[in-house]
Amino acid sequence: MSSHQGVRDFYSGKNIFITGASGFLGICLLEKILRTIPEHGNIYLLLRPKRGKEIAERLEDIKKNQIFEVVLKEKSVEEVFSKVQAVAGDVGQENLGLSPAERKLLTDNVNVIIHSAATLDFGDTLKTTVDINLLGTRRIVQLAKECARLDVLVHVSSAYVNSYRLEAEEVIYPLKRDPDELVSLVGKLNPEELEEQTPGILADHPNTYTITKHMAEHEIQKAEELFPCTIVRPSMIIGAWKEPVPGWTISKNGPQGFLMGAAKGVIRRLPVGKELVYDYIPVDIVVNNLLAAGCFAGVTKPKKVAVFHCTSSTRNPFRWLQVEDKINDYLHLYPLKSAVWYPHLKLLPTVAWYKISALFVHMFPAFILDTVTRLSGGRPILVKLHRNVNTSLGRLEKFIFTEWKFTAKKTMDLQDWLTKEDQVDFSVDITTLVWLDYFTDLTLGARTYLSKEPLKTIAAAKKKDKILLALHLAWQVALFSLIWYLFACATGMTMSSSLFVLPICFILYNLL
């Protein structure tokens, strides 16, 4: 039985500084601390003014998120957030954009730093990703060096920082390019020159995100002898498995975004390798991994930075083949009242096949619906949405059709290291996750938290779903009949003699 300090005890009384707190992972991390570690110290959130909102207003927006409904059933907003303080700053600016007074507040008081802030856009320029992912981490390390009472630094990385390797271990792999040289180069080149040289700079990295996050790990490693530090590498983070509510999400990335679009009837095709392993990891498991890893490093004080893969590919692999036959059942179990067409999602094996199919099942219907919307005084968005999807496929194709294996032995050892109580409350074990059950919860979560439709609307949505089915079938009958008629006219054949056109239309339609 473990006799060391548990996770709650470790964080009790400690002042925690969190970057990226308004993001998907950050807000879930904040909720977990507030709900399960009641004796926590002050929690400082690095927030930057955004879209005309000052940080006090942004903090109020965070408090209103539905994720806090569980903890707010037991305590008032004032009680729950009494020790939460917004700090104005930006990891992409010199000195983190902190005022001297706020920097002193942090360096005098912070015991734990959890650095989650990053730009996740695979299409961002090298300048942006260097400023935020690489230099932002360097600035966090510098702040950590100045903290008089620091116990541990937890860095959120990504399993894909080593995406040039199809199998990756829980180690920091050597750099292939000097970060300082890259920083200097980015500072010298104008935007056009930098864009031209970016492919050569990336070398075997697929995008600017992975190369700068890879370099950021080395910034953490440089500080490993100064204070305890740890790196957690999540794969694709998806909605909650268990906490605080199964299926909770605010992210439209990954399968929850697909489910949202499919439930609307807007996304009808998806390019995936059905038999490939996709490394998805629920956000609540990532949060547990961050807190457990921070406790481990803070208690054991390892001489080398501890690296943990928060991944599923080698522990509980997911393949779309496992849920393909059930996805559409889920969409009609929890239909949307706001659906614009009858939902039916089909998985296609290549991007080329998807693009051909999308012309008929995405772009053409989108054009019709946008035209109707425009004539009725609304704002047409569907054609633009599908164009953006098609554009992004070029950046995502490698991630869609490549299978990675991330070993997670250290993470499994971390689960064993935890106390018996923590193995339940801060579990990092996903071997018992049943993907079919999980996707049922995720479909409902996307409905509730992304489409903002409460449970009480399901009955009305199911009635609409039946109407949309009738319209969908009527549309197919009308379309096939029109093709049949036009074929008969063009060939001079009678309608009865050209009847064979109908099954051909049906077969071709189902191939799309």
Of 445, 232, 428, 163, nearest in space to 316 by CA: 428
234 CB-near residues (< 8 Å, 6+ apart): 25, 156, 158, 159, 281, 286, 289, 310, 311
Residue 298 lies in a domain: yes
- In angstroms, the Cα distances linking 373 to 34, 118, 376 are 44, 37, 5
Rounded Cα–Cα distance for residues 262 and 256 (Å): 10
Of 365, 358, 361, nearest in space to 382 by CA: 365
Burial status of residue 432 (CB atoms within 10 A of its CB: 0-12, 13-18, 19 or more): exposed
- For residues 429 and 463, state if they share a domain: no
DSSP per-residue string spanning 164-212: TSSEE-SS-PPPSS-HHHHHHHHHHS-HHHHHHHHHHHHTT-SSHHHHH
Residue 501 lies in a domain: yes
Rounded Cα–Cα distance for residues 135 and 128 (Å): 10
- For residues 67 and 120, state if they share a domain: yes
- For residues 158 and 68, state if they share a domain: yes
- For residues 245 and 283, state if they share a domain: yes
The pTM for the full model equals 0.93
Q: What is the predicted pLDDT for the residue at 234?
A: 98
Contacts 24+ apart (CB under 8 A), 81-85: 81/34, 83/40, 83/41, 83/42, 83/43, 84/30, 84/34, 84/42, 84/43, 84/45, 84/59, 85/42, 85/43, 85/44, 85/45
Residue 122 lies in a domain: yes
Nearest-10 Cα torsion for 430, 435, 441, 447: 120
345 CB-near residues (< 8 Å, 6+ apart): 258, 262, 267, 268, 269, 270, 327, 328, 331
How many domains does the chain divide into? Answer: 2
- Boundaries of domain holding 177: 7-320+401-450
- For residues 446 and 420, state if they share a domain: yes
Residue 389 lies in a domain: no
Of 155, 45, 63, nearest in space to 110 by CA: 45
Burial status of residue 192 (CB atoms within 10 A of its CB: 0-12, 13-18, 19 or more): exposed
Residue 281 lies in a domain: yes
Of 410, 428, 450, which closes a domain? 450
- In angstroms, the Cα distances linking 303 to 226, 255, 417, 419 are 9, 39, 18, 22
- For residues 172 and 122, state if they share a domain: yes
Residue 2 lies in a domain: no
Q: What is the pLDDT along the chain (512 residues), one digit of tens a residue?
A: 457 889 999 999 999 999 999 999 999 999 999 999 999 999 999 999 887 788 999 999 999 999 999 999 989 999 999 999 999 999 999 999 999 999 999 999 999 999 999 998 888 899 999 999 999 999 999 999 999 999 999 999 999 999 999 999 999 999 989 999 999 999 998 989 999 999 999 988 989 999 999 999 999 999 999 999 999 999 999 999 999 999 999 999 889 999 999 999 989 999 999 999 999 999 999 999 999 999 999 999 999 999 999 999 999 999 999 999 999 999 999 999 999 999 999 999 998 898 899 888 888 888 888 888 888 888 888 888 888 777 777 778 888 999 999 999 999 999 999 999 999 999 999 999 999 999 999 999 999 999 999 999 999 999 999 999 999 999 888 888 988 888 889 998 888 888 888 888 888 888 77
Residue 352 lies in a domain: no
Q: What is the predicted pLDDT for the residue at 480?
A: 87
DSSP per-residue string spanning 288-339: HHHHHHHHHHHHH--SS-EEEEE-STTTS-B-GGGTHHHHHHHHHHS--TT-
Burial status of residue 193 (CB atoms within 10 A of its CB: 0-12, 13-18, 19 or more): exposed
- Gyration radius of the chain's alpha carbons: 25
- Element of type H or E holding 384: helix 382-400
C-beta separation of 139 from 91 below 8 A: yes
> What phi and psi values does residue 278 have, to the nearest 5 degrees?
-105, 130
Q: Which residue has the tokens 């932002």?
A: 136
Residue 113 lies in a domain: yes
- For residues 291 and 436, state if they share a domain: yes
SS3 236: strand
- For residues 20 and 67, state if they share a domain: yes
Q: Return the bridge partners of 53, or none.
A: 50
SS3 440: helix
Rounded Cα–Cα distance for residues 20 and 333 (Å): 35
- For residues 295 and 265, state if they share a domain: yes
- For residues 413 and 472, state if they share a domain: no
> What phi and psi values does residue 11 have, to the nearest 5 degrees?
-85, -15
- Element of type H or E holding 485: helix 458-491
- For residues 444 and 509, state if they share a domain: no
311 CB-near residues (< 8 Å, 6+ apart): 159, 233, 234, 235, 279, 281, 406, 408, 411
Q: What is the predicted pLDDT for the residue at 2?
A: 59
- For residues 314 and 459, state if they share a domain: no
Q: What is the predicted pLDDT for the residue at 208?
A: 93
> CATH no. for residue 206?
3.40.50.720
The encoded tokens of residue 378 equal: 């609304």
SS3 469: helix
